Amino acid sequence: MEKQVRVIITPKGKIVTDFVGYEGKACFVDADKLAKQLIDLGVTLEESSVQSKTDPSEAITVQQFEKLTK
């Protein structure tokens, strides 16, 4: 399955990432790479904001996202 990362930035600048097509904790490897690049740019990616989704249909919905970032 093709892998895709969805980076969502809230109106307050908080980041949530959806790793679609990843199995289990494999997403944390790519999340770590992304986090390192973001740190270079002065932005922090928190581990709790990284989510693995095996199926694109499981990707976060707007409603779920809003709940998550409240």
Binding site for another protein (CB under 8 A): 1-13, 15, 21, 30, 33-34, 37-43, 62, 65-66
CA distances from 29 to 3, 9, 24, 38, 40 (A): 13, 21, 11, 14, 17
Minimum distance from residue 10 beta carbon to another protein (Å): 6
Minimum distance from residue 8 beta carbon to another protein (Å): 5
Minimum distance from residue 32 beta carbon to another protein (Å): 11
Among the listed residues 31, 6, 7, 16, the one whose alpha carbon sits nearest the alpha carbon of residue 67: 16
